C-alpha cells in the first residue's frame, strides 16, 4: 500500500539541510565570537604573519570545495546531503561577515551582516518549507498573504527595536571587539 504523503523532493530535503546548517552555524559563530572577545573562551583565531584570518575565508574555501565536488564527482544521495550540510556551514561563515566584505573592513557587528543572514535564511526557508506548486490552492495564497503581512510587520517592529538596541548595544560590542583578541 502506497503512502498518501509523498516524501520530500530531493531539492526540499537538501534545502532543509542547508537551512539547518546555516542557522546553527550562524548562531554558533556569533556566540563563539562574543565568548572569545569577552575572554570567556581562549583565543583560537588564526593569525598569519600578524593578520587575523576571518572566518569568512574558511567559508569561501568550503564553498569552493563543495562547488568543485558537485561539478566533478558523481554523488549518491548521502554524499549530496553531506555537501548540503557543508554548503550551509560555509555559507553561514561567509555571510556572518557579509558587512565586512561588503564594506571591505569595519566592525564585525555591522547591521549588513545580520540583514544578509535574514535574507539567506528566508530564501532557503521558502525553498525548504513551502508547499509544492502542484499542491497550491486558493487558501495557500490567502494564508501566504496574511503570513507576508505578519512577517513584514514583525520585521518592521524588529528593525525599529534593533535601531534602539543598536544605539544601546553597538558601542558596547565595538568596545568588546577593540579590547578583545586581535
The count of domains in the chain is 1
Q: pLDDT by residue for the chain (182 residues), tens digit each?
A: 444 454 557 888 898 899 999 999 998 988 888 888 888 888 877 778 877 778 888 999 999 999 999 999 999 999 999 999 999 999 999 998 888 877 777 777 777 777 788 888 888 887 777 766 666 677 767 877 777 787 777 777 766 666 666 677 777 777 777 777 76
List the one residue out of 153, 24, 156, 142 whose CA is nearest residue 89: 24
**5: in domain:** no
Question: In this structure, is residue 97 part of a structural domain?
Answer: yes
Note whether residue 86 is domain-resident.
Answer: yes
Q: Is the alpha carbon torsion for 110, 115, 116, 117 positive or negative?
A: positive
44, part of any domain:
yes
Structural domain harbouring 109? 10-179
Integer Cα distance of 23 and 121 in angstroms: 7
Q: Can you give the pLDDT at residue 24?
A: 93
Which pLDDT does position 100 carry in this prediction?
80
Is 169 a domain residue?
yes
The reply to whether 3 falls in a domain is no
In a domain, 37, yes or no: yes
Q: Which three cell numbers stand for residue 166?
A: 543598536
Q: State if pTM tops 0.75.
A: no
What CA–CA distance (Å, rounded) separates 114 from 66? Answer: 24
Cα 162 from Cα 164, distance rounded (Å): 5
Q: How far apart are CA 10 and CA 25, in angstroms?
A: 22
Structural domain contains residue 4: no
pLDDT value for 3 = 47
Cβ neighbours of 170 (radius 10 Å)? 14
Amino acid at each position: 500500500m502506497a503512502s498518501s504523503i509523498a516524501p520530500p523532493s530531493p531539492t526540499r530535503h537538501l534545502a532543509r539541510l542547508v537551512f539547518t546548517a546555516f542557522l546553527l552555524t550562524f548562531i554558533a559563530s556569533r556566540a563563539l565570537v562574543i565568548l572569545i572577545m569577552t575572554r570567556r573562551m581562549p583565543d583560537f583565531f588564526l593569525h598569519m604573519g600578524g593578520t587575523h584570518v576571518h572566518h569568512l575565508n574558511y567559508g569561501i574555501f568550503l564553498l569552493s570545495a563543495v562547488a568543485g565536488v558537485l561539478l566533478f564527482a558523481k554523488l549518491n544521495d548521502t554524499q549530496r546531503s553531506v555537501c548540503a550540510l557543508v554548503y550551509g556551514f560555509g555559507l553561514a561563515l561567509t555571510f556572518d561577515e557579509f558587512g565586512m566584505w561588503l564594506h571591505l573592513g569595519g566592525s564585525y557587528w555591522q547591521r549588513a551582516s545580520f540583514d544578509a543572514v535574514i535574507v539567506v535564511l528566508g530564501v532557503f526557508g521558502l525553498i525548504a518549507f513551502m508547499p509544492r506548486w502542484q499542491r497550491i490552492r486558493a487558501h495557500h495564497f490567502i494564508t501566504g498573504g496574511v503570513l507576508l503581512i505578519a512577517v513584514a510587520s514583525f520585521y518592521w517592529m524588529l528593525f525599529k527595536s534593533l535601531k534602539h538596541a543598536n544605539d544601546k548595544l553597538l558601542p558596547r560590542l565595538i568596545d568588546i571587539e577593540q579590547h578583545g583578541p586581535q
